[in-house]
Structure 1
């Protein structure tokens, strides 16, 4: 995993996300894979193990059996942008992202390589498959989504575990102390 200066996967900015989906990810499958990771905040291994039946009723359902720690099933509503990516990518196999020759599911190492190649194509340094997860969770936090809601989406067992994912910028620190203006 490539790391930023803080020892974590890089948070992607809107321009980088735009370039990634327009120039870096070359196929509908690859864009759908990146979209699942970005718009649900899931781990790459969870995305790879999704079955087509897990996209249902306007939700992406991550069964307990494929989640880290197998703590519980997560159901994430599908955003309009993710829906567009899924509409472009049609898969009639058991797994949403089939493995080589249609057997099993795409291996997380193969998915990681697809994403690393896309990052390289657009000259993005310090990003990894985990950047999608950190970006999604950090952006929700920056937009004021309650931590409990973000925790439910991410599947983190504790708020302490979740908070390690959330990046705090210098501007956010300045804004925070400026509210103390009696």
Structure 2
């Protein structure tokens, strides 16, 4: 569990994801949060998305979101298919005509800062009484959710963009009940 910025973030369940989504006060924070969940991407890369990477034309999302190599930890470009739910969320968002999808309110030439998003998310977690969660809870939660739905680890790797299965496995939470159920199979 995440404690004072140490350890791994608690993974969000799908139900917790929607609770936090509703608790976020601004539309752009909600969209950042949704993009992190539905793309399994790191928030730092989501904050650096441009309008052209997500939208074909005003309020018309692309079929895939292009997450450029320069914004990602592994320096590999990812193209992530847009799910029906994410498409609905994207269609409702009023985005800037060009440039950053999430421009800084202080300087439109810059994207929204990680700390601004982190503060909004921390506030929502606090309102809901969630502890041990962080900006990575969406990534860990969506990956864990896919695993619990029975997707193969190779499929999850392809979706999440992890180069290494070892790195990917750190994101998948295994509950005590799941361990007991596994042992019962022996």
TM-score where L is the length of structure 2: 0.87
Residues 18-63 of structure 1, C-alpha deviations (whole Å, 9 max, x = no match): 22122x1112211111100111111111010011111153112111
Answer whether contact 1:28 1:85 (CA < 8 A) is retained: no
1:82 is matched with 86
CA distance in structure 2 between the partners assigned to 1:105 and 1:138 by the alignment: 29
1:69 alignment partner, SS class: coil
Give, in whole Å, the separation in 1 of the partners of 2:88 and 2:29: 13
CA distance in 2, matches of 1:77, 1:3: 34
Aligned residue for 1:32, secondary structure, equals helix
Q: Determine if contact 2:12/2:142 at 8 Å carries over to the other structure.
A: no
Root mean square deviation, CA, Å: 2.0
Tell me how far apart the structure 1 counterparts of residues 90 and 181 of structure 2 sit (CA, whole Å): 38
Structure with bigger helix share is 1
The CA deviation at 1:103 is: 2.7
Structure 2's unaligned 5+ residue stretches are 56-61
Q: How many residues align?
A: 177
1:59 paired to 2:64: yes
CA distance in 1, matches of 2:178, 2:3: 21
Q: 1:69 and 1:152 mapped to 2: Cα distance? A: 14
What CA deviation, in whole Å up to 9, does each residue of 1:133-175 have, x standing for no partner?
0001111111111212211222222100110111011121122
Q: TM-score with structure 1 length normalisation?
A: 0.89
- The one of 79, 102, 105 equivalent to 1:100 is 105
